[in-house]
């Protein structure tokens, strides 16, 4: 079986579709990150490593460089396929200048690259100046959560042969919160914006097999919007572009379950399973082991992965 | 002449369905219902609902609240009968619902005002509404800044407190003069979506309101909500 079979709207993208540039077809939907290639059936864990003193979930746990490197060792051992390193929290707050962002992230990315020559390193930034330094230090993927706010980001990705995440932030400026945001059709807006960004990236020379799209849960969205894009994630998958989701402990989960910051793991994993089932391929997460297990389970249910050890009733 | 004015915030969470299982803020809704009730009891010949929107326009008077843009799972999006009419801007939908729930069945005018509508145009619009009939009821969907705390939608802005205090002071005193001179740029920076509504109100009531009553004034989410009732001239 093909793994993706049986789910609606999974055919190859129509030529000249909404994005203009035709994404990789069904057969060659290989995702390339750094020196590695991942087939359509592989579901990848992107482990979050924050170089911030104030990110919402870890509250600065990896602010110190030694702690951050420990975290990298840990997530690699737990089976992370990608590490995502960022130096600026998403929430509003004290300004982090380009120079400070570079100071927080560039030497660290270089150290991770030295320790793990083959590990895929994603860098969480929206600014092309930082992105350039990070790519030079060994970054493989630019994770632009703020929806293409800095138009020069694709140029950097193209220059360094890096990948690019094209996400939907509803047009909000970086580090702002949604306020009474409304959409005639939130998924239509997500598709329009992310496909336009993917199109722009490829036009500017980014390798199409290194472009992902991300609905960006919570960004420019209320909880109802995030639930809607989750429910309709298959529409993004159907475009042919690999879909990344970043769900871990976010507010839409907290609001759905009335769960505080430390009570959102079950909701995170449930949403992870649904997104995996609908065809997402990369999962940005804090808990690598649990996320890996959920993805392996979904892969097994879909028939993409054999059970690890099956003897029950077989003796 | 103005028969009376009810002021309510155009906050999406005024719609009970949007906050999910938890009513979250029932006292705000009760205050709004009370304000709308007073307005309906003031025997207006027509009630004009004024609220922010993507453009300045008068909407069909039979328009009703549609939450699809904020809660896709809650909206009515019936595509079986062809394209549906464009739903009301949420502030007007909320106002229309408040009137319905207060039992109002008389004529109504639903007026949206663009966020960037210049002050002079807002004041003029208010003056026009004033002459709609001998007794005009006004339901103004307006609120203050959204920058009153670190957790506020617009983060903490030290200018927010004074901005909102000026609005509250004007409404409390019944002297709406200060609203005429609201700083449009500052309002935008503080995410004060209510600015056009406050200025339409100031245009509609050039004199002093004989009595005013504050039914709710608080900022539980970092946004300044003010619910009040102003008696007519």
Contact: B72, A186; criterion CB under 8 Å: yes
Tell me if chain A has a CB within 8 Å of the CB of B221: no
Q: How many Å lie between the alpha carbon of A190 and the closest alpha carbon of chain B?
A: 14
Tell me if chain A has a CB within 8 Å of the CB of B75: no
Q: How many Å lie between the alpha carbon of B78 and the closest alpha carbon of chain A?
A: 13
Ramachandran angles phi, psi of B104, nearest 5°: -80, 130
pLDDT at res. A88: 94
Could you confirm whether A113 is annotated as catalytic?
no
Q: What percent of chain A has pLDDT over 90?
A: 85
pLDDT at res. B233: 81
> What is the rounded average pLDDT of the residues A245-263?
97
Contacts of B18 in chain A (CB under 8 A): 224
Contact: B153, A186; criterion CB under 8 Å: no
Tell me if chain B has a CB within 8 Å of the CB of A180: yes
d(CA A58, CA A78): 18
Contact: B74, A224; criterion CB under 8 Å: yes
d(CA A111, CA A113): 5
End-to-end CA distance of chain A: 27
Of the candidate ranges A56-60, A274-278, A279-283, B166-170, the one whose mean pLDDT is the lowest:
A56-60
Tell me if chain A has a CB within 8 Å of the CB of B11: yes
Residue B91 and residue B115 in contact, taking contact as beta carbons nearer than 8 Å:
no
Contacts of A223 in chain B (CB under 8 A): 20
A204-222 pLDDT, tens digit each: 999 999 999 999 999 999 9
Average pLDDT score, chain B: 94
Could you confirm whether A250 is annotated as catalytic?
yes
Average pLDDT score, chain A: 91
Of the candidate ranges A263-272, B60-69, B102-111, B219-228, the one whose mean pLDDT is the lowest:
B60-69
d(CA B197, CA B91): 11
Q: Which residue of B has its CA nearest to A224?
A: B71
Contact: A185, B71; criterion CB under 8 Å: no
Quote the crossing angle between the two packed helices A98-115 and A65-77, to the nearest 10°.
50
Helices assigned H by DSSP within chain A: 65-77, 98-115, 128-137, 153-160, 186-203, 223-231, 233-237, 251-257, 265-278, 288-302
pLDDT at res. B84: 56
Q: Which of B18, B22, B153 sits opposite A179 (nearest CB)?
A: B153
Contact: A179, B191; criterion CB under 8 Å: yes
Chain B interface disruption, residue of A182, A222, A223, most B CBs within 10 A: A182
d(CA A244, CA A282): 4
């Amino acid at each position: 079986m093909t793994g993706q079979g049986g789910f609606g709207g999974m055919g190859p993208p129509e030529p000249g579709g909404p994005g203009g540039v035709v994404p990789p077809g069904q057969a060659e939907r290989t995702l390339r990150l750094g020196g590695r290639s991942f087939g359509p059936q592989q579901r990848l864990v992107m482990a979050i490593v924050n170089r911030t003193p104030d990110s919402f979930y870890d509250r600065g746990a990896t602010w110190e460089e030694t702690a951050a490197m420990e975290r990298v060792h840990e997530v690699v051992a737990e089976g992370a396929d990608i590490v995502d390193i960022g130096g600026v929290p998403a929430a509003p707050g004290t300004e982090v200048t380009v120079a400070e962002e570079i100071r927080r992230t560039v030497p660290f990315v270089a150290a991770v690259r030295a320790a793990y020559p083959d590990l895929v390193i994603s860098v969480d930034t929206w600014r092309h100046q930082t992105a350039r330094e990070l790519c030079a230090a060994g970054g493989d993927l630019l994770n632009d959560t703020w929806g293409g706010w800095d138009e020069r980001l694709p140029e950097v990705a193209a220059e360094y042969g890096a990948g690019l995440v094209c996400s939907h932030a509803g047009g909000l400026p970086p580090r702002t919160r949604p306020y009474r945001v409304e959409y005639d059709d939130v998924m239509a807006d997500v598709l329009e914006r992310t496909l336009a960004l993917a199109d722009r990236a490829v036009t500017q020379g980014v390798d199409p097999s290194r472009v992902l799209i991300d609905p960006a849960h919570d960004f420019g969205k209320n909880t109802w919007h995030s639930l809607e894009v989750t429910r309709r994630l298959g529409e993004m998958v159907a475009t042919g572009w690999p879909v990344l989701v970043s769900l871990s402990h976010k507010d839409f989960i907290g609001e759905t379950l009335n769960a505080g910051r430390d009570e959102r793991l079950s909701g995170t994993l449930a949403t992870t399973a649904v997104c995996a089932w609908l065809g997402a391929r990369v999962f940005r997460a804090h808990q690598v082991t649990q996320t890996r297990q959920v993805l392996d389970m979904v892969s097994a249910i879909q028939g993409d992965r054999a059970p690890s050890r099956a003897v029950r009733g077989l003796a | 002449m103005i028969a009376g004015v009810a002021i309510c915030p155009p906050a999406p969470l005024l719609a009970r369905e949007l906050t999910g299982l938890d009513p979250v803020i029932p006292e705000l809704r009760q205050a709004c219902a009370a304000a709308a009730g007073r307005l309906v009891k003031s025997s207006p010949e027509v009630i004009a609902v004024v609220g922010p929107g993507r453009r300045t326009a008068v909407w069909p008077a039979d328009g009703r609240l549609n939450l699809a843009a904020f809660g896709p799972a809650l909206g009515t999006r019936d595509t079986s009968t062809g394209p549906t009419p464009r739903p009301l801007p949420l502030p007007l939908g909320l106002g229309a619902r408040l009137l319905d729930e207060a039992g109002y069945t008389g004529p109504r005018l639903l007026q949206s005002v663009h966020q960037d509508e210049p002050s002079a145009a807002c004041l003029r619009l208010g003056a026009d509404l004033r002459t709609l009939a001998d007794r005009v009821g006004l339901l103004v969907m307006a609120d203050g800044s959204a920058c009153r705390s670190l957790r506020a939608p617009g983060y903490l802005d030290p200018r927010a407190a004074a901005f909102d205090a000026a609005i509250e002071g004007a409404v409390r005193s019944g002297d709406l003069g200060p609203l005429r001179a609201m700083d449009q740029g500052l309002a935008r920076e503080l995410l004060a979506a209510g600015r056009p509504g406050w200025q339409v109100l100031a245009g509609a009531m050039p004199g002093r309101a004989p009595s005013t009553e504050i039914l709710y004034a608080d900022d539980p989410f970092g946004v300044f909500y003010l619910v009040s009732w102003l008696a007519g001239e």
